[in-house]
Copies of this chain bind each other. A is one copy, B any other.
């Protein structure tokens, strides 16, 4: 741990290297908080767009003297996993201590953390000023045009301390996450990579594996698909370019989990090849029950233990304002909607709004909505 234990204030300047969606969003959020931000990107166009939207000032537009007087307090590398480590090493060397300047704290926000940490440690650069981190936020669009300063609000931001890291550098990265409205979680780099393999990378791979099966499915069959299939393959629509890098950089923890899946899949196939054999149904019941047990362990919202909300389904016309009228009625009945899901069937001009509410509120809500003329299905 570091020798000092002061609580640093994020005053900037912050140099953002890589000004795509996430880098530019961080720039916007920091600028809104009055922190000076400089921008640098391998693409002059991307860098210029980020400046145009107000994410900061291009570092390259400053003269050499000006750059020397604006040496960054924090360098944030927002680049893909396969270059993040090298860029951190370069930043540690470029913004090293000299004179009164204590050197920059350097963080990267790549979605794998062991690889860049290893690259920094092996480089011989001053690893005490490096603290990797990972804001768990994103959008389906990319590039600085899609950037939003609020992107990190109420999202987890994982900060990966390591033995060589100085405490004040860890605290500075924490201050960055807090400034942007994120919720900080501390994990080691290997804990982080194990975690995201399980909660993000393997689910992504499995969703993609399932979705590939739909390439040759007749369209009439797909037109009958319900919410179950749609939910299960939704993330299979994600951008291949980023995921290829993530899979390659976090291969080891992913493979450990995939071995277990292959074993279970082999067992399922063997059972289904002979579904009338003794024990076959017990085997299938065990798979389903283990799945029940796994999904039940995911916490509910607000980080509370999983709560069984009561659900009800209401038919809504597919016209502007009908969902609003429904929710206005629910609000007037004093009920808070914990979750809401809209579902449509093929060919139907009517939708189903599935509402999750506190179990204590369920029956009164059904009565109240029915009195107000809503068709409550569930």
Residues of A within 8 A of B (CB): 136, 139-141, 146, 148, 150-151, 153-156, 158, 183, 185, 187, 194-195, 198-200, 202-215, 217-226, 228-238, 240-241, 243-244, 247-249, 251-252, 254-255, 257-262, 264-266, 268-269, 272-273, 275-276, 280-281, 284-285, 287-299, 301-303, 311, 313, 315, 318-321, 323-325, 327-332, 334-337, 339-342, 344-352, 375, 377-378
- The interface centre, meaning the residue of A203, A228, A311 with most chain B CB atoms within 10 A of its CB, is A203
* Contacts A198-B213, A199-B226 known; 10 new A-B pairs at CB < 8 A: A141-B378, A185-B224, A214-B297, A219-B299, A228-B234, A231-B231, A233-B294, A247-B272, A302-B318, A340-B341
Q: Which residue of B lies closest to A264 (CB)?
A: B209
The answer to whether A225 touches B199, judged by C-beta atoms less than 8 angstroms apart, is: yes
Copy number in the complex reads 2
Give A190 Cβ to nearest chain B Cβ, in Å.
12
Give A211 Cβ to nearest chain B Cβ, in Å.
4
The answer to whether B195 touches A224, judged by C-beta atoms less than 8 angstroms apart, is: yes
Closest 4 CB pairs of A and B: A208-B291, A321-B331, A154-B348, A324-B327
Q: From the candidates B272, B292, B324, B330, name the one contacting A330 in the complex (CB within 8 A).
A: B324
Q: Within 8 Å CB of A154, what residues of B?
A: 315, 344-345, 347-348, 350, 352
A-B contact pairs, 7 of them (CB 8 A): A153-B350, A185-B220, A205-B287, A211-B295, A247-B272, A258-B265, A324-B329
The answer to whether A336 touches B324, judged by C-beta atoms less than 8 angstroms apart, is: no
Q: Within 8 Å CB of A275, what residues of B?
A: 247-249, 251
With the chains together, A194 CA to B218 CA distance in Å?
10
The answer to whether A269 touches B292, judged by C-beta atoms less than 8 angstroms apart, is: no
Q: From the candidates B153, B203, B236, B247, name the one contacting A295 in the complex (CB within 8 A).
A: B236
